[in-house]
């Protein structure tokens, strides 16, 4: 475990403040407070009393693969998931609008549990990659309900395994690598934003029905998009 203060030098070795460097990838509620960086062999508090506390007055980040997974569970298109349940923040992030509560909260239970977003699967921890190492991030101080709700001890590795989050993390890694590739090749901001919009509404791309899994189809979507953007935009050739 590594305790990080927002004013401390970043763990990546850049020499910049944590809050203005790798910490910028975290939600604002975590960016400017002390956090714990947790490795796979650290022990954390986990468990849940199904009180619904974590599903009210929250904005849940959505990855493009989260949108696909929800669309398949709800039997609607990715466009309908985005238009009916998502909001775009002033910073351009796509989120579920959880004010006053998550639209998928049924009483105190999740009605889309098997297709819930990755941030819900890992809560109250957030994933963060620093250089080549992956950490889970936890707020250093209790937010009010964790000590009552989360009464069990578990290894970080077990929390990740039991939440079945590896699949979503791998899909998001592929998506982020595409964005990085476009940026490295000199693509314009407008082109990158257009790529992101197409990736989120992935049903707009005609992909062969022969794909056997949601993951395989999403991989093909990213491959098709990369080929299209590289071919259409001389700046990234």
* Tens-digit pLDDT profile for residues 50-91: 878 788 888 788 999 999 999 999 999 999 999 999 999 887
Contacts of 214 (CB under 8 A, 6+ apart): 65, 68, 69, 72
How many helices (H) and strands (E) the chain has is answered by 9, 11
pTM of the model: 0.84
As a whole-number percent, the residues of the chain with pLDDT over 90 amount to 49
Longest CA–CA span in the chain (Å) reads: 56
Q: Taking all residues of the chain, what is their mean pLDDT, rounded to a whole number?
A: 86
| Residue 199: pLDDT band with limits 50, 70, 90 | very high
**What pLDDT score was predicted for residue 124?**
75
Helix axes 64-74, 78-85, angle to 10 degrees: 100
* Tens-digit pLDDT profile for residues 110-131: 999 999 999 888 877 888 888 8
- Asked whether the predicted pLDDT for residue 236 surpasses 50, the reply is no
- Asked whether the predicted pLDDT for residue 192 surpasses 70, the reply is yes
Domain ranges of the chain: 2-44+124-143+150-162, 53-121, 167-232
**Which range among 12-26, 83-97, 223-237 shows the weakest confidence by mean pLDDT?**
223-237
């Amino acid at each position: 475990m590594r305790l990080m203060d927002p004013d401390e030098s970043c763990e990546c070795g850049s020499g910049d403040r944590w809050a203005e460097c790798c910490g910028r990838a975290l939600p604002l509620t975590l960016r400017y407070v002390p956090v714990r960086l947790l490795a796979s062999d650290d022990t954390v508090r986990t468990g849940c009393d199904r009180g619904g506390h974590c599903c009210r007055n929250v904005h849940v980040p959505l990855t493009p693969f989260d949108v696909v997974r929800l669309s398949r569970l709800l039997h609607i298109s990715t466009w309908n998931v985005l238009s009916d349940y998502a909001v775009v923040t002033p910073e351009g992030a796509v989120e579920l609008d959880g004010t006053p509560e998550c639209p998928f909260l049924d009483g105190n239970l999740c009605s889309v549990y098997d297709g819930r977003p990755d941030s819900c699967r890992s809560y109250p921890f957030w994933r963060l990659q620093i250089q080549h190492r992956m950490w889970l991030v936890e707020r250093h101080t209790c937010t009010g309900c964790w000590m009552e709700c989360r009464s069990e001890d578990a290894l970080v590795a077990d929390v990740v395994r039991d939440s079945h989050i590896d699949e979503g993390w791998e899909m998001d890694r592929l998506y982020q690598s595409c964005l990085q590739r476009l940026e490295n090749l000199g693509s314009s901001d407008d082109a990158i934003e257009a790529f992101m919009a197409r990736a989120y509404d992935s049903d707009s791309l005609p992909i062969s029905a022969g794909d056997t899994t949601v993951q395989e189809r999403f991989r093909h979507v990213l491959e098709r998009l990369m080929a299209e953007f590289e071919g259409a935009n001389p700046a990234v050739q």
